[in-house]
Amino acid sequence: MEKKPEDLETRLERFAVSGVLVTEKMPSTPAGRFYADQLLRASGSAALNYAESQGGATHRDFTNKLKIVFKELREAHMALRIIHSAGLHSDLPGVTTVRQEAAELVAIFTAAVRTAEQRSARKG
């Protein structure tokens, strides 16, 4: 039997949880706290805004929420790249895995925003 692909809301929830787990093990240095805060906010915001987008009153609302999700995912991805490059985490292979997931989500939402904007243009 073929495995059903994970839906985006579940995937974003899992990504937000990964953000929590990464940040909980960050050093208590100025840089560690700064990038942990950035990652925690961005990964959580992406999941929460996506969930909110599902109840959008209009297509325009939906598109605007998707753009926020995309922005937050790019921010989380960059924070993970910096955390990894600066060696701010004791489990760099684990950070790499989360960073790869962020990159995949950014790619997915690049396409989703483009599609949503095209549909908005046809409706407007």
Is 8-123 CATH 1.20.1440.60? yes
| Residue-level pLDDT at 1 | 46
| Residue-level pLDDT at 91 | 96
How many Å apart are CA 59 and CA 73, to the nearest integer? Answer: 21
| Residue-level pLDDT at 121 | 72
| Residue-level pLDDT at 99 | 98
Residue boundaries of the structural domains of the chain: 8-123
Q: Closest Cα to residue 104, out of 64, 66, 63, 76? A: 76
Mean pLDDT, consecutive 10-residue segments, the chain of 124 residues? Answer: 70 98 97 98 97 86 94 98 97 97 97 89 64
Cβ pair 71, 113 in contact under 8 A: no
Q: Which burial class, exposed, middle or buried, applies to 57 when counting CB atoms under 10 A from its CB (0-12, 13-18, 19+)?
A: exposed
How many Å apart are CA 85 and CA 79, to the nearest integer? Answer: 10
Is-above-0.75 flag for pTM? yes
